[in-house]
Structure 1
């Protein structure tokens, strides 16, 4: 997640800098930039370039500024509102698909503030279908149906998940067991459902959830054992709250194609591994990746885990976990755009 923090007062700016320092230590936050004043000029730019905007200002200023910019719950960024004294962190826009509710809880904990969430499913301790899709990196074929499904969940209707039995959906089963609370959920299997799809049914309505590709990029010292690499991977995906069965691909640089630890991990997870050519890594450009002069001096490329993950995930993919080191192992995670 790429986060912009914007403030209008000196006290708000001090809070913004404090929050940036805390968020920069979170591997799931890809970058955090701070803006001050010039709200009308900055907001249209922030809407286009950031996944979330944290506005430290009066709610009236925020609402009047974003009103002309709002388009859709599918595309609008997450927006949080914080007062200068950091008493409250309010999820203001795109609570589910944009991730504002989850970020609100994270920021409130960092600032020892009170999180304010108003979405019906959350306050009634129900799981929204759009929350499930967001958390598990699934696209939704018809977002207009979200309202019907979430209303039905609130009313206690049965919701059925139908999958292909040949595919490992442990990640979904685990997620539902941990998050459905008192919801009426059933699991069914059908060979007619495509391998990478989950069909969700309620009454005569149906949604199709489709997996985006989750790619784990790996860099490591020569001879690093499989278990050591796996330890770093497990820490990373635990911070993302995803199960190992949700991983679609592993990726690294072609200089690692004989690395026994990575090859063994691919077999252990039953996930294919792609080794990206050095020429592709040299030519790859992204403002989101961290550049290492040490790696550049040794291999002629600025990094392994982040660019490998992004290249393997495909055009317009995005980092969801920035390069993080674990005793000689670096892990980054990217997700593809909706198929």
Structure 2
């Protein structure tokens, strides 16, 4: 998630600096930038450049600033509102698909504040279908149907999920077993459903959830054992709260194609691995990729795990887990649009 924090007062700016310092240490936060004052000028830019906006200001200023920019729950960024004293963290816009509810909870925990969530499914301890989609990195084909499904979930009606028996949906079952919010679902199997899709229905309402491609990029020291690479992978996926069965592909640079630990991990988890050509890594450009002068001095490329993940996730993919080191192993995770 790319976050912009904007403040208007001296006290708010101090809170913003403190919050940025805490968020920068979170591997799921790809970048966090600070802005101060110039609200009217900043908001039209931030609204389209960031996944989330944290506004440390009075709610009236925030509402007047974002109102002309709001378009859709599908495309609007997450917006959360914090008072200057850091007492309340309010999820103001895109609570589910944009991730504002989850971000509000995270930020509140970091600054010892009270999170304020108002979406109906959350306050009634129900699992919205759009929350399930966001948590599992699934796209929704017909977003207009979300309201009908969430209303049915609030009424405790049964929702039918149909999947292809030839795909591994352990990640879905694990998620439904662990999630603390309530949802009444039945699981059906049909070979007519595409292997990367989940068909959701009740009465005459239908929508399709489709897996976005998740790629784990791996870098490691020469000869690193599989168990150490696996430990790093597990920690990263735990941070993202997803099962390894949700991962579609492992990726690394071609200089690692004979790395025994990576090959063993691919076999152990039954996840295919691809090795990206050095020339592609040299040509790849992204402002989100961190650069290592050490790696460049050895291999002529600035990084392995982040660009490998992004390249194999496809055009316009994005990082959801920035390069993180685990005792000689680096892990990054990218997802397709």
TM-score (norm 1): 0.99
How far residue 180 of structure 1 moved from its aligned partner, in angstroms, is: 6.2
Question: Which 5+ residue runs of structure 1 have no aligned equivalent?
Answer: none
1:182: how far off?
Answer: 4.2
Deviations 1:253-274 (A, max 9, x none): 0000000000111111111111
Structure 2 residue matching 1:153: 3-state secondary structure: helix
- The CA distance in 2 between the partners of 1:85 and 1:12, in whole Å, is 8
SS for the counterpart of 1:334 is strand
2:213 matches 1:213? yes
Q: Residue 3 of structure 1 aligns to a residue in which SS?
A: strand
Cross-structure match for 2:319: 319
Q: Tell me the CA shift for residue 181 of structure 1.
A: 4.3
For residues 2-151 of structure 1, the aligned pairs below 5 Å read 2-151=2-151
Closer, same or farther: CA 180–194 of 1 in aligned 2, 3 Å: farther
2:263 matched to which residue of 1?
Answer: 263
Aligned counterparts of 1:301 and 1:38: Cα–Cα separation in 2: 39
Cα distance in 1 for residues equivalent to 2:164 and 2:201: 15
Change (3 A) 1:181 1:28: closer
Change (3 A) 1:17 1:182: closer
Does the residue aligned with 2:76 lie in a helix, a strand or coil? coil
Question: In 2, distance between residues paired with 1:3 and 1:166?
Answer: 38
- Cα deviation, 1:290-327, whole Å, max 9, x if unaligned, reads 10000000000000000000000010000000000000
Alignment length, in residue pairs? Answer: 337
d(CA) in 2 for partners of 1:297, 1:199: 49
Q: What is the RMSD computed on CA atoms of the aligned residues?
A: 0.7
Any idea what the Cα deviations from partners look like across 1:147-189, whole Å, max 9, x if unmatched? 0000000011101111011100000001111226443211111
Pairwise mapping of residues 148-159 of structure 1 onto structure 2 (< 5 A)? Answer: 148-159=148-159
> How far apart, in 1, do the equivalents of 2:199 and 2:268 lie?
28
Partner of 1:253: 253
Contact 2:305 2:323 in 1 (8 A): yes
CA drift at 1:94: 0.2
The 1-side partners of 2:281 and 2:183 are apart by 46
CA contact (8 A) 2:127 2:182 kept: no
For 1:75 and 1:103, the matched residues in 2 are separated by 17
Give the unaligned 5+ runs of structure 2. Answer: none
- The alpha carbon displacement at 1:202 in A equals 1.1
Q: Secondary structure at the match of 2:25?
A: coil
SS of equivalent to 2:199: strand
Normalising by structure 2, what TM-score? Answer: 0.99
Q: What do the CA deviations read for 1:63-105 (whole angstroms, capped 9, x no partner)?
A: 0010000011000000000000000000000000000000000
- The whole-number CA distance in structure 2 between the counterparts of 1:65 and 1:126 is 31
User: What SS does the aligned partner of 1:199 have?
Assistant: strand
How far apart in 1 are the matches of 2:98 and 2:196? Answer: 23
C-alpha distance in 2, partners of 1:324/1:314?
A: 21
CA distance in 2, matches of 1:204, 1:146: 13
Distance 1:285 1:158 in 2: 47
